[in-house]
Homo-oligomer: A and B are copies of this chain.
Amino acid sequence: MKIGFIGLGIMGRRMAANLQRSGHDLIIHNRTKVKADALVAQGATWADNPAEVASQVGLLVTMLANPEAVFEVALGDHGFLDQLRTGSLWMDCSTVNSSFSRQMADEAAGRGIRFVDAPVSGTAGPAEQAQLIFLVGGEEGDVEACQPLFEAMGRQTIHVGGHGMGSALKMVNNLLLGTAMATFAEGVALGHSLGIPFQLLMDVLPGSPVVAPFVTGKQPKIEAGQYEPDFPLKWMRKDLQLAAITAYEANVPLPTVNAAKELFALAAADGFGEQDFSSICQYLVDKTGPSADSG
């Protein structure tokens, strides 16, 4: 079966490559064409716009930066939603708020299109190694239909519930991710400032019971002080903003998450936006440093 894939950023092109490797024929599109080159060289077919992708496939995957980008590609000029055949399936892997996923499910349903929200847990490394975790919302049958794709791109599928529930769990996942990193940075800055050697903090904290395990994967960046982005800090700020909007809609207070969100905003304002979000450590350590009277 031919599969459409729109959105070939850091995550998307790695995911698409895994679909290709597992034998799927891809029709692909991306805003900037150059990112499609490697996939085309491996046999994927380029399409000039989202609508052109839609006309050739029965299952279409999107992996885009935010709700606005998804809306544009689906429903804007040359959007794909009006071009998909009745009964086709749209799997949206983008990180969006759950109310937006439900809105897209409704737009799809109005055109006889099936919809699954399937955002992922994991960044560039797991995407490359087909080790993503899919957080899925949608009808049982539609989720089953996507299962071969999930297996080609990931290691686990969590079917959370109906439309929007995958995005809901993704919001939760992201707020945990972002605040865990912000908190780790605060802890490291405090420890360093109290006179604990930086390397000792790196040896002791990641992997300990009080630090989220993903931090271990960020450790080489933090130790080297080199933050080429697997996941840029400005995107983490965006994801926490999405979580805050979702919480607002759901009437859930998130005081700690909002504080972390604003810490990332401060770091972005100081020029850390394009670096990996783990650079929040550098941001805080830079401005504190060991205090004169530390032991």
Contacts and interface: CB of A to CB of B under 8 A. Distances in A.
Interface of A: 98, 102, 121, 137, 158, 160-165, 168-169, 171-173, 175-177, 179-180, 182-184, 186-191, 193-197, 200-201, 204-205, 208-214, 237, 241, 243-263, 265-266, 268-270, 284, 287-288, 291, 294-295
Contact of A169 (B193, B196, B259, B269): B196
Given A204-B158, A266-B287, A252 B190 contact: yes
Contacts of A168: 190-191, 194-196, 294-295
Given A204-B158, A263-B255, A184 B176 contact: yes
The A interface is mostly helix, strand or loop, or mixed, namely helix
B256 A295 contact: no
Contacts of A195: 161-162, 164-165, 168
B194 A183 contact: no
B162 A253 contact: no
B172 A187 contact: yes
A259 B291 CA distance: 23
B250 A288 contact: yes
A175 B162 contact: no
